[in-house]
């Protein structure tokens, strides 16, 4: 595959990801977002529309098309074909009475690919399919602590919202997370929500994802140690997300 073909594929994927993350938008807004001529966006959009990946909404806005539904169904089938981690998640949710989530790193974001919901009410951001910045929250930082230094530097450089004090605090926290094998956060992503996350590593010691408990702060008080131990124990039993031999972090 030539470099121009690769660039074309990368740009089309970038447009689709932007529509998935940001919702319907106009070609002009996409052009501004990626600093390209509007005519370039229209050219890519025309091909994506023909493939059913994008369609035009009222008002000239662009949104993900019906073919994306098939991609989601295909992804779910792939998970069903290889989902030995689900029993671990169900056991953890049953033992703690709290919501359990499985996240994976994708570019600069932590993406929730699966959850086992608590039967108790909880409003939180990391529901299935949601992507959030990699630098905040226990679920994300449990992965961040095991990322190569070059990738970590890129993530920090790209986050304009994080000031120098916050960067220094995060860099000081990551070795601690690595040493103890888990990350804890309180109200870093959602108000009134506490979370603990443990990393999932593959056979090469590379980060594949994180297993987390997410719970309202008022229900966690006095149970923190129990919830952390339960998540760590579950983390020793969860298989590699991509089916490769697992290396446990603790």
**What percent of the residues of the chain are helix, what percent strand, and what percent coil, each to the nearest 5?**
50, 20, 30
Q: Which residue has the tokens 């108000």?
A: 191
pLDDT digits (tens, 9 = 90+) for 4-35: 777 778 888 888 777 777 788 888 888 888 88
Q: What are phi and psi of 107, to 5 degrees?
A: 55, -120
Cα 206 from chain centre: 16
User: Which string of DSSP letters, residue by residue, matches 81-134?
Assistant: HS-THHHHHHHHHHHHSSEEEEEEEETTEEEEEEEE--SS----S--TT-EEET
Residue 249 has pLDDT above 60, yes or no: no
pLDDT digits (tens, 9 = 90+) for 184-222: 999 888 888 999 999 998 878 889 999 999 999 999 999
Question: How far, in Å, CA of 17 to CA of 23, rounded?
Answer: 10
Domains of the chain, CATH where assigned: 3-69 (1.10.10.10), 82-247 (3.30.450.40)
Mean pLDDT over 133-152 rounds to: 90
72-76, 199-203, 207-211, 236-240: the lowest-pLDDT one: 72-76
């Amino acid at each position: 595959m030539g470099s121009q073909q690769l660039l074309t594929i990368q740009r089309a994927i970038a447009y689709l990801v932007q529509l998935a993350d940001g919702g319907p938008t106009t070609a002009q807004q996409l052009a501004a977002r990626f600093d390209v001529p509007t005519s370039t966006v229209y050219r890519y959009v025309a091909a994506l529309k023909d493939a059913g990946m994008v369609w035009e909404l009222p008002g000239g806005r662009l949104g993900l098309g019906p073919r994306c539904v098939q991609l989601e169904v295909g992804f779910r089938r792939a998970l069903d074909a290889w989902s030995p981690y689900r029993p671990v998640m169900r056991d953890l949710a049953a033992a703690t009475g709290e919501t359990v989530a499985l996240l994976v790193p994708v570019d600069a974001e932590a993406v929730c690919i699966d959850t086992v919901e608590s039967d108790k009410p909880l409003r939180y951001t990391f529901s299935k399919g949601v992507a959030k910045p990699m630098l905040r929250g226990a679920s994300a930082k449990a992965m961040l602590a095991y990322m190569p230094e070059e990738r970590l530097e890129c993530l920090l450089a790209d986050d304009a919202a994080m000031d120098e004090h916050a960067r220094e605090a995060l860099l000081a926290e990551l070795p601690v997370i690595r040493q103890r094998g888990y990350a804890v956060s309180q109200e870093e992503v959602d108000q009134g929500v506490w979370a603990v996350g443990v990393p999932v590593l593959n056979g090469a010691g590379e980060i594949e994802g994180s297993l987390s408990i997410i719970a309202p702060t008022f229900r966690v008080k006095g149970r923190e140690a129990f919830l952390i131990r339960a998540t760590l124990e579950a983390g020793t039993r969860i298989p590699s997300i991509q089916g490769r031999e697992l290396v446990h972090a603790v």
